[in-house]
Amino acid sequence: MRRDRRVLLLGAGAAACLPSVLRAQSTAPAVVPPIAFIDVHLVPMDQERVLRHMTVLVRDGRIEAIGPELPVPTDAWRVEGQGRLWLSPGLADMHNHCDSRQDMAVLLSLGVTTMLNMGEARNSFVGRLRLAIERGEVPGPRAYVALAVDGSPAYGHLVLTSPEDARAAVRLARTNRYDFLKVYNGLSPEVFDTLVREGAAAGLPVVGHGVTRVGLARQIGAGQVLVAHAEEFFYTFFPPPREDDPDGAPPESAIADAVALLRRHGARVVADLVTYRKIAEQWGRPAVVDEYLRRPEAALVAPTQRALWPLAGYARRRGDLMRRYAFLEALVRAMQRAGVPLLSGTDVSDIPGLVPGYSLHENLALLTRAGLSRFDALSTATRQAGAFIAATRPGGAPFGTVTVGARADLLLSEANPLDDLTTLASPRGVLAAGRWHDEAALAALRRTVAETYRSAVAAAGPSARA
């Protein structure tokens, strides 16, 4: 669904109440010694298997050793699994628009240790905050960032109208240490082609939407490595709906063509079912948005963003998108069965009802409901995310698996996630950037964010209350 991403501000008062820093709240010492997870059951996610009663030794942010009887250094920080806790990779949200310290804290508190910001990140996030997170100075996931570009100012992105503009955008992205170029709907074919060519030369792969005047078939053939939403196939690949049935889904026979295109070129897709599901739920139903606002987790959405939910417009539309959502389920299921690499994403925080962290767990549940196994669903937020970054941004530490040499982004849970994915939504602890955050520290992160937002609303006055 094409969305209006323009921002409505509550006013300077609310913004002024937000603290400048959320410090890491962890029981681990500031100078990080080795960390040993002792007698844990391991879900390594390199393949579908479980390793019981393991010790995992982490040093300098990487997994150094794994085994049933490892010697533990005397200076190691010990996390006792007691033969009943489960250790798996931290989660990756590979399509969001989060860039605040508060969002970073909430994401980490729910086990998200990696993210891809798909546009609209502020300069302070790209140039400072994400680097502080990598150093372990601020709690949050390691962030990859895409520079969003478009052919018109309608959605607030950087506007490119010529190949010269495209070359300048690539230079800008490289200078400012972006990782990807995200293409949006309104680019011209000439600008798109220049972005792909110049981006490849600069080490900046192209990701993003279907471009209306180019189309996904040509985009993927030209080298776009990632489609930002599974729903993009509705807009620039599948035949449009009939005029007498504007909410109708394409014929399922068309799915094979999309799958063949992706397999032929090795492109990946963000299977963000939660995004379209939320839109479909509230389409023509204002009461649904009211219900979203009453949910406890809404307290973890910035007041400025929460105030936009009733204004988004989906609830005022007519029709029913559930047939199209059912088609998306079939499309994602077919992609998975054909071996198309899928990533998990959420599009937080553009859609009413989406909440940092919570929506990623909801997406995993929706993927299983669509027919993916729990292992395959979890793979979209772990090993497949790591494989995508390894293929497109080589050189860093691998992540997404619990294996020797991998980045030690780890989630400790009460149960085996291959039996019950919901256990991941209540982490017993999270390791990220070499810092261990236990269950109490994670809860404190969420509590601090909620209190910060309550104070911001109170300071802004009655007009700010959603």
Q: What DSSP string describes 305-334?
A: HHTTGGGSSGGG--S--HHHHHHHHHHHHH
Q: Would you state the pLDDT for residue 349?
A: 77
DSSP three-state, residue 87: strand
CATH number, domain at 384? 3.20.20.140
383 in a structural domain:
yes
181 in a structural domain:
yes
405 in a structural domain:
no
Q: How far, in Å, CA of 149 to CA of 334, rounded?
A: 30
* Distance of alpha carbon 440 from the chain centroid: 24
Contact 403, 110 (CB under 8 A): no
Q: How far, in Å, CA of 53 to CA of 332, rounded?
A: 35
Q: How far, in Å, CA of 414 to CA of 172, rounded?
A: 45
Contact 402, 43 (CB under 8 A): yes
Q: Would you state the pLDDT for residue 53?
A: 99
- Phi/psi of residue 388, nearest 5 degrees: -65, -50
Q: Would you state the pLDDT for residue 454?
A: 97
pTM of the predicted protein model: 0.93
CA atoms within 13 A on the CB side of 394: 1
292 in a structural domain:
yes
**Is residue 89 exposed (0-12), middle (13-18) or buried (19+ Cβ within 10 Å)?**
buried
Residue 143 corresponds to which amino acid? A
360 in a structural domain:
yes
- Helices and strands (DSSP H and E) totals, the chain: 17, 17
* Distance of alpha carbon 12 from the chain centroid: 28
Q: How many domains does the chain have?
A: 1
Residue (of 176, 155, 168, 10) closest to 97 by Cα position: 155
DSSP lists the bridge partners of residue 63 as 58
Q: Would you state the pLDDT for residue 144?
A: 98
Q: Would you state the pLDDT for residue 460?
A: 83
Omega into 349 within 30° of 0, i.e. cis? yes
117 in a structural domain:
yes
DSSP secondary structure letter of residue 112: E
Helix 101-109, helix 439-460: angle, nearest 10: 150
Contact 71, 102 (CB under 8 A): no
Give the tokens for residue 32. Answer: 């990080």
Q: Domain of residue 363: give its range.
A: 91-399
58 in a structural domain:
no
Residue (of 273, 229, 237) closest to 254 by Cα position: 237
Give the tokens for residue 242. Answer: 């009939």
Give the alpha-carbon dihedral of 249, 251, 256, 261, to 10 degrees: -60
55 in a structural domain:
no
Residue (of 121, 104, 133) closest to 356 by Cα position: 104
* Distance of alpha carbon 352 from the chain centroid: 16
Residue 151 corresponds to which amino acid? G
Q: How far, in Å, CA of 65 to CA of 71, rounded?
A: 10
Q: How far, in Å, CA of 22 to CA of 453, rounded?
A: 13
Ranges of residues in the chain whose predicted pLDDT is under 50: 1-21, 24-29, 466
